[in-house]
Amino acid sequence: SVAPGNPEIHRIFLDEILSLVTLRGSILEDAVPSTSKAGSLRGIPLREILEFVLNTHCLRLALATPKVTEQLLKLDEQGLCRRHKVGILYCKAGQSSEEEMYNNEAAGPALDEFLTLLGEKVSLKSFTKYAAQLDTKTDSTGTHSLYTTYQDYEIMFHVSTMLPYTPNNRQQLLRKRHIGNDIVTIIFQEPGALPFTPQNIRSHFQHVFIIVRAHQPCSDNVSYSVAVTRSKDVPPFGPPVPPAGVTFRRSDLFRAFLLAKAINAENAAHKSHKFRAMATRTRQEYLRDLAENYVTNTPLDTAGKFNLISLASKKKEKSKARPLAELESAGAVSWRVSALDFGRGGAEIPCVLGISKEFVVLVDLAAKEVVFNCFTGDVIGWSAEGAALRIYHGRGDLVSVRAAAEEIREIVQRLKATTPGCATVDMTLRRNGLGQLGFHVHPDGSVAEVEEYGFAWQAGLRRGSRLLEVCKVAAVALSHEQMIDLLRTSVTVTVAIVPPHEDGTPRRWVGAGGGCGIGGIGVSQVASGLLVASWCHLCHLGVLVSLVASESLECHRSHSGAIGATWVPLMTLVTSGCHWCHLGVFRAIGGI
């Protein structure tokens, strides 16, 4: 059923044969011309939705068989992986070569201690969970293995000392057959082990090595240092490895760091050229098999048929789609626009502007990069004039775009539906006999009070209004003193304001801070940094937290108690909640 005021949404997925990217979209029932009533229990027929978004003349019905369902599931889940296999090689003191590690018959106390932290030793016979190609019937691949779960993931470890050992066989093929086909391998080094280099590994399938070195094992002071080496075409992945010389204590936090690192390593490896090519070929085979072997010759009935029994019955007409129904969609509605780059003298950049219920985003078409984003709650106003649109956000920063006048009107309607902002108002203010304008303004540009029935009041200025521009200068670029000086000394005072809310309160920045690459609108760089963003619910200013730089970062007004985002030298990050301000607080894992 559909709740009143909440129209049904249909999600659309399009798979391209030559691409791993699935195109995803959504459409409201109200936007589809249909013979059925939108919002009814039966809903709109799927055929009519397809007719609205596709040329259906070339489509044929598929066979209604379990094989088709199975193939479609495989295709849809190709990019999803909740099961991972990770190799573990044991490197004793004085060892470094692949052959030496494969020929360590049994685990030493340091490795046993590490494995106990990492997972659970399980019997393989009759094991019913993810076995990672290990034999669960005849023990041909060993009697036990190491298994664990992490969040929603299953991980089976191929531990070299748990796989069958073959005496007088330096190749140890029964071990290499499994570990050599693992994308991610953990190299566990005892104290005194020689430096590891991936050049000693002959497998072409192992793409990432996580080197874990034990310090003072089997003691109360045991700790571990971590290093990572990856193939050149594997992109970087988190959580970041700490600086040299920093070690992890033996703890659940270290376990979480290591498991997250291993899972992310495999996900990153799948983005390399080799694995993308393999995945593309697999996808092509699935789609080709479906198109060639599981399709009937029956086309979709796009024209409809008359009822042969009741020839006098009238063909049911399709209802008209509700105009601009798509503007109520929760997902992003997009337009082609030109964004003005004030950092390059107002040069126009071809972009796509997307506005969802939560975000406003600008994507550079050529670079395929996000050049601006903010929450819809950050938008305080906009100014539309012909083919030009200015969107004000945050403390009064603006993004300026150009598009066809009709599309500008659609964008404004979307902004009205998704943001707390409103249209700006331009005013020319006169002075009284004493040369006064008749109002006072706060440092943030909001109007503190207005002289009743004075010239400013008569022009429409009210308490709670917010100055966005003063004499064509952005208010956010002015200090309070500069703003007052400009208002006092200008012969003709023009202002652009955004009116207050209906209750008279100013329109303020109520969401999280975004970032902009156009015109330098307040995004700061942190050296050697991978950045995550949070925000302060006390002053609503964006907070950038560096995962690498050894410094503490707070909001711009130093509300550190409301953020708690202090850098810790050795960490991955998770979010928790602050009971004071209900802000998501970043907490360090594995910090010393």
pLDDT in tens, 272-322: 888 888 888 888 888 888 888 888 888 766 444 444 344 444 555 666 656
CATH topology of domain 425-498: Pdz3 Domain (2.30.42)
Token couple for 488:
């006092």
Mean pLDDT computed over 235-244: 89
- CA R_g for the chain: 31
Q: How crowded is the C-beta side of 464, counted as CA atoms within 13 Å?
A: 9
Q: Which residue has the higher pLDDT, 77 or 103?
A: 103
Q: What's the pLDDT at 52?
A: 73
> What is the DSSP-derived secondary structure letter of residue 193?
P
Residue intervals of the chain classified under CATH 3.40.50.11210 are 83-269
Closest by CA to 374, choosing from 525, 480, 517, 549, is 517
Q: Which two tokens stand for residue 171?
A: 């190749």
* 8 Å CB contact between 591 and 570: yes
Q: Which residues contact 453 (CB under 8 A, 6 or more apart)?
A: none
CATH 2.30.42.10 boundaries in the chain: 425-498
- Residues above pLDDT 90, as percent of the chain: 45
CATH class of 83-269: alpha beta
DSSP letter at 368 equals T
SS3 label, residue 163? coil
Quote the pTM value.
0.56
CA distances 291 to 72, 197, 279, 294, 298, Å, are 11, 47, 18, 6, 13
Q: Report pLDDT digits (tens) over 389-437.
A: 999 998 888 899 999 999 999 999 999 989 999 999 999 999 988 888 9
Q: Please write the tens of the pLDDT for every residue from 554-574.
A: 333 333 333 333 333 333 333
Q: What is the pLDDT of residue 41?
A: 58
- Write down the pLDDT at residue 368: 82
Q: Which residue has the higher pLDDT, 380 or 61?
A: 380
DSSP 110: H
Q: Residue 529: exposed, middle, or buried by beta-carbon count in 10 A (0-12, 13-18, 19+)?
A: middle
Query: Is-contact 540 499, C-beta < 8 A?
Result: no
pLDDT reported for residue 571: 32
Segment 436-475, tens digit of pLDDT: 899 999 988 889 999 998 999 999 999 999 999 999 898 8
**8-state DSSP, 52:** H
What is the structure's pLDDT at 169? 87
Give the per-residue pLDDT at 57: 75
pLDDT number for residue 530: 35
Contact yes or no for 87/182 (Cβ under 8 A):
yes
* pLDDT band at residue 200 under the 50/70/90 scheme: confident
Residue 497's nearest CA partner among 441, 455, 418 is 441
Place of tokens 């700790």: 223
Mean pLDDT of the chain: 79
Which residue's structure tokens are 């700490």? Answer: 242
Q: What is the pLDDT of residues 341-363, one digit of tens each?
A: 877 777 889 999 999 888 999 99
Q: How many C-beta neighbours within 10 Å does residue 474 have?
A: 17
DSSP 8-state symbol, 42? S
- Which residue in 44, 34, 48 sits closest to 9, CA to CA? 44
Q: Say whether pLDDT at 39 is over 70.
A: no
Q: Which of the following CATH numbers is that of domain 330-421: 3.40.830.10, 2.40.50.140, 2.30.29.30, 3.40.50.1820?
A: 2.30.29.30
**Token pair of 557, please?**
């007004």
